[in-house]
Amino acid sequence: MISPPLKGTLMIQGTGSHVGKSVLVAALCRIFADEGVRVAPFKAQNMALNSFITQEGGEIGRAQAFQALAAGIPPSVHMNPILLKPSSDTGSQVIVHGKVAGNMDAKTYHQHKEKLRGKVRESLEILQKRYDLIVIEGAGSPAEINLKEHDLVNMGAAKLAHAPVLLAGDIDRGGVFASLYGTVALLNDEERSFFRGMIINKFRGDPSLLEPGLEMISQKTGLPVLGVVPYFHDLYLPEEDSVGLRKSLGDGDSAVRIGVIRLSHISNFTDFDVLSLEPGVAVEYLGPDEGLDSLDAVILPGSKNTLTDLSVLRERGMGEKIRDFARRGKIVVGLCGGYQILGKTIRDPHHVESALETLNGLGLLDTETVLDTEKTTTLVKARPLRGKAGEWLTGYEIHMGVTRLGPGSEPLFEIIERNGRPCAVPDGAITPEGNVWGTYVHGIFDNDTFRHAFLNALRKQKGLPPLARSGIFYREHLTRSVQRLAAIVREALDMEKIVQIIREGVAT
């Protein structure tokens, strides 16, 4: 236990995107929680299409939900007060305190930033009252000189929180010393006064070989290197965005092969991570020009711009490939936007997602969808209405569509609880043959019994025996990954120095 009790803030900023900020924050949350510190994560503004629903029924970035899990506390909208979900190259849906505030292009959003600063301050103050230590994550780089004036998430957040900052750099991509030095050099004197140290992340090999470089970068920046974190690839850690999405996951020689269509606006692709963790299963992310012949199942994932992605699938011939795949009796699954695409029509009369208004879907499910202006964001408990996949499962809804079933489809689930309140609401659709189905419930494959039943059905089609020992158990696997992550990072960092930095804080 840390004595005397630790109270304050600490911020992890990076030399760029995807350098490991989210993972370091999660590791530190677990390390401090294990020491008895009441700790919570915070990211003022997150741009991500992988999101999660909190107990309040609000939407936050998936990374902050994972960091909360590492800290051993429930996720809250105040851990990520502003979430940007890109819907085009120039515009995003803006979510404030878990609820949709509207769609904005970059210029409009910058005009609203000063109003949003108050929302960020409000959330930070709420967390500081509830917890002793707040570990804050930055975004991209603090040295983006064209964005610094109205920054909310890097130095803007550090100043609001009076947080000492550690700068992380990714050595695996090359140029880490130049990136660290250049970042510090582009900061002004006031900004540099917040920085207390640097972390080298994703190193492969013998850390002693880095020592001359570590000494030199410390001399040039005036900041100590507080640790070299090794590269690790055998831990399951949910990705925040599609930058880290690999084409193939799992065993390349697997008996069961599942294809996920990589839509241009793919969202919540972490729904499928757990499938690739199972023995004998490979998950492949496929572009609209690729073939499906080697696959046992095809999944259409969620999308932040369903009509545009549907249009691309139809134009590039993937829509017809999926229809042919289903006609041959193969399994086709749609989740959220993918569920909408499998239906007969999608209408967007209010232009919620794009300028397109109506498109015919793939017609594999007898459903029609209308995109609405109200967003459904709920934690749910549901029971399957067909098969023996368990009495109930848990997941979450994030959608702006209302889907109605025709006589050619029947509901897949009955939702029996939303945000802790009992209900009886049909969800999803399945064909009479049972090989095509869709749902609005994210996270269904995280449920062990449902996932094992799904995979064993695919194995049975191929004449294979059921999964040995019923496969993996997701929650236990995730908990072990977090524990190992914390152990690796604790070993790599000078935690005594980091505790000292937190105690000293930043002069106000």
Residues that are catalytic:
336, 442
Alpha helix locations (H) across 186-233?
Answer: 189-192, 211-221
Q: Sheet holding 297-300: strands in order across?
A: 248-250, 281-286, 256-261, 297-300, 331-335, 436-439, 429-430
Q: What is the largest CA-CA distance in the chain?
A: 73
Rounded Cα distance, 395 and 493, in Å? 36
Contact between residue 19 and residue 168 where contact means Cβ atoms under 8 Å apart: yes
Instruction: List strand residue ranges (DSSP E) for 290-449, in order.
Output: 297-300, 302-303, 331-335, 345-347, 358-360, 367-384, 393-405, 413-418, 421-427, 429-430, 436-439, 441-442
Give the C-alpha separation, 98 to 397, whole Å: 13
Question: Which parts of 76-225 fold into alpha helices (H)?
Answer: 106-130, 155-161, 176-185, 189-192, 211-221
Is there a contact between 391 and 355 (Cβ–Cβ < 8 Å)? no
Q: What is the distance between the alpha carbons of residues 463 and 294, in angstroms, rounded to a whole number?
A: 16
DSSP conformation letters of 309-351 = HHHHHHHTTHHHHHHHHHHTT-EEEEETHHHHHTSSEEE-TT-
Contacts with 52 (C-beta within 8 Å, 6 or more apart), sequence order? 59, 60, 61, 62, 64, 65, 75, 396
Quickly tell me which residue has 């967390």 as its tokens.
127
Strand partners, 383: 414
